[in-house]
Chains A and B, each alone.
Chain A
């Protein structure tokens, strides 16, 4: 039965997937533009550029994971959603916020850091390892927010 609680849970799931995914789209776009610039002059750097461009894409995956977690938890895939109370719905909604918000912003900033790192490999291709570490540091906070979302979701009693 679709209760108000289920609607709130859907909203939480949509925020996790939508915000984190949008952030990743923007981040990958920024890194992609910088990468295209480098490859215009040196197509041989495709491998390194692709790796750096992909980095901000992970937040979108984390958001999708959190969103699916919610849908599984409320039994959408089983075909019979749990009749959540409004309180339970709000709990799920708030549990989704960490990955939604942190995912959105961290993906954009990771995209910028990746663009800078792509500039670094354009100048010093031998420093690819170091170039990857810089934007990868941003990932830490996306992972932590995913962890927070999962822990919060697991703590909700249905």
Chain B
């Protein structure tokens, strides 16, 4: 965690931070997470969640029959609040772009599978562009209602996909384009903390892309195309390590902030052949990075902290409740759970 040059001096954030402090009361702390995990079944877990008080998201929230819908509603509501309280639109847009690109991925994959998208079940109404405009752009290839950078991204992807029809290309290329748009959005915005966070986020994505590429046995050319520019890690170095065995990768990240995370994540991969642990460690890393928001009064850090904390919180709730459905033991659930912000 580090302070930035604009930390605690920007009085324009006073209202937002006051509101965020109150909203932080809706986040789950470790005690509550443990109580939910230790609860004997799904119903008890849901009861604990309801007792915590999510009234602002509707009194009917988290019923047994539609708790997943409540999670979606809570995410929607969170972004509505963030849009409402952000003194500058780019704060909302940087994070909402993730959902625009999620929607684009869903639509493009559906298009290539030859499906029409009549319902919006997998689409999220959070992004900066209306879902119906995205549907029109992808299904009918009418790009008038979407921003030009989106059009450029989609056209670039379509031409690439025609050459290499691999569904994974869709995720990789769209993620790349997403970060190009985010970084251009942040240009001249005097948002050093947010920019640093995005660069860390790019690094984490790049590490995961490199690991997946290695596991899939793809070559350096593939990795070079997939890696996202704009992070702190040197992309050339990241491409070079593809030749060495995964077990030695942690040494290649020595003296970077990611050393411990890569070491533990890869150790777990070697043991269980799953990337779940490194994904969990990455979420914890992100959360730890934005925890500075708890100590700033006049700055954007608390807003960023809250957005990340809320997303991880919802991920934790979903994970616990699904595990309860699958009757997983509390020990197993605890192994998968992310840290709490508060």
| Residue A5 CB within 8 A of the other chain | no
- Complex formed: what's the CA distance from A2 to B61 in Å? 74
Query: Which size bracket describes the interface of B in this complex?
Result: 10 to 19
Name the CB-closest residue of A to B24. Answer: A123
Q: Which residues 220-266 in B have Cβ within 8 Å of A in the complex?
A: none
Q: A119 touching B297 by the CB < 8 A rule?
A: yes
Which residue of the partner chain, among A31, A116, A122, contacts B22 with CB atoms under 8 Å?
Answer: A122
Q: How many residues of A contact B (CB 8 A)?
A: 21
Known interface pairs A30-B298, A41-B22, A41-B23. Does A119 touch B11 (Cβ–Cβ under 8 Å)?
no
- Do A38 and B19 touch across chains, with their CB atoms under 8 A apart? yes
Contact of A37 among B8, B11, B18 (CB under 8 A): B18
Question: Does any Cβ of A come within 8 Å of B45's Cβ?
Answer: no
Given the complex of chains A and B, what is the CA–CA distance between A41 and B19 in angstroms? 6
Distance in angstroms from A110 CB to nearest chain B CB is: 13
Q: How many whole Å from B324's CB to the nearest CB in chain A?
A: 29
In the complex, are the beta carbons of B15 and A37 less than 8 A apart? yes
Interface residues in A33-76 (C-beta closer than 8 Å to B): 33-38, 40-42, 45
Contact with B along A1-41 (1 / 0, CB 8 A): 00000000000000000000000000001110111111011
Is B18 touching A34 in the complex (CB atoms < 8 A)? yes
Query: Residues of B contacting A40 with CB < 8 Å?
Result: 18-19, 22, 85
Whether A115 is near chain B, meaning CB under 8 Å from some CB there, is: yes
Asked whether B104 is an interface residue with its Cβ less than 8 Å from the other chain, the reply is no
Which residues of A99-121 are within 8 A (CB) of B? 112, 115-116, 118-120
- Indicate whether A34 sits within 8 Å of B22 (C-beta atoms), given known contacts A115-B297, A115-B298, A116-B297: no
Quick check: is B337 within 8 A (CB to CB) of the other chain? Answer: no
Give which listed residue, B15, B25, B56, B298, contacts A122 with CB less than 8 A.
B25
Q: CB of B21 within 8 A of chain A? A: yes
A73 to B46, CA, bound (A): 71
Known: A30-B14, A115-B14, A122-B25. A37 touches B20 (CB 8 A): yes
Cβ distance B16 to chain A, nearest Cβ, rounded Å:
6
Docked-complex contact A36 and B15, CB < 8 angstroms: yes
- Contact between chains at A34 and B25 (CB < 8 Å): no
Closest chain-B Cβ to A115's Cβ sits at a distance in Å of 5
Asked if residues A36 and B21 are in contact (CB atoms below 8 Å), the reply is no
Q: Is the CB of B14 within 8 A of A34?
A: yes
In Å, the complex CA distance between A30 and B298 comes to 9
Which chain B residue lies CB-closest to A32? B14
The answer to whether A34 and B297 touch (CB under 8 A), given A40-B19, A115-B17, A118-B18, is yes
Question: Looking at the complex, which one of B11, B16, B25 makes contact with A30 (CB distance below 8 Å)?
Answer: B11
Q: How far is the CA of A35 from the CA of B23 in the complex (A)?
A: 13
Min CB distance, B52 to chain A, in Å?
A: 15
The answer to whether B25 touches A119 (Cβ under 8 A) is no
Write out, one digit per residue, whether chain B residues 1-29 have a CB within 8 A of any chain A CB (1) or not (0).
00000001001001111111111110000
**A contact residues around B56 at 8 Å (CB):** 41
Query: Which of B16, B18, B21, B56: most chain A CB closer than 10 A?
Result: B18
Alpha-carbon distance between A35 and B24 when the two chains are bound, in angstroms:
15
Taken together as a complex, chains A and B put the C-alpha atoms of A63 and B24 apart, in Å, by 38
- Let me know if A112 and B15 touch, CB within 8 A: no
Q: Which residues of A contact B24 (CB under 8 A)?
A: 122-123
Residues of chain B with a CB closer than 8 A to A34's CB? 14-15, 17-18, 297
Residues facing A in B54-68 (CB within 8 A) are 56
Alpha-carbon distance between A45 and B18 when the two chains are bound, in angstroms: 12
Bound CA–CA A119/B300 (angstroms): 14
Chain A nearest CB, measured from B192 CB (Å):
20
With A and B bound together, what is the CA distance between A41 and B18 in angstroms? 9
Residues of chain B within 8 A of A112, CB atoms compared: 8, 11, 297-298
Contacts A33-B15, A41-B23 aside, 16 further interface pairs with beta carbons under 8 A come to: A29-B11, A31-B14, A34-B17, A37-B16, A37-B17, A37-B20, A38-B22, A40-B19, A112-B11, A112-B297, A115-B14, A115-B18, A116-B297, A119-B21, A120-B21, A122-B24
Of the A-B pairs whose beta carbons lie under 8 Å apart in the complex, a sample of 9, sorted by A's number, is A30-B11, A34-B297, A37-B19, A38-B19, A38-B21, A112-B11, A115-B17, A119-B17, A120-B21
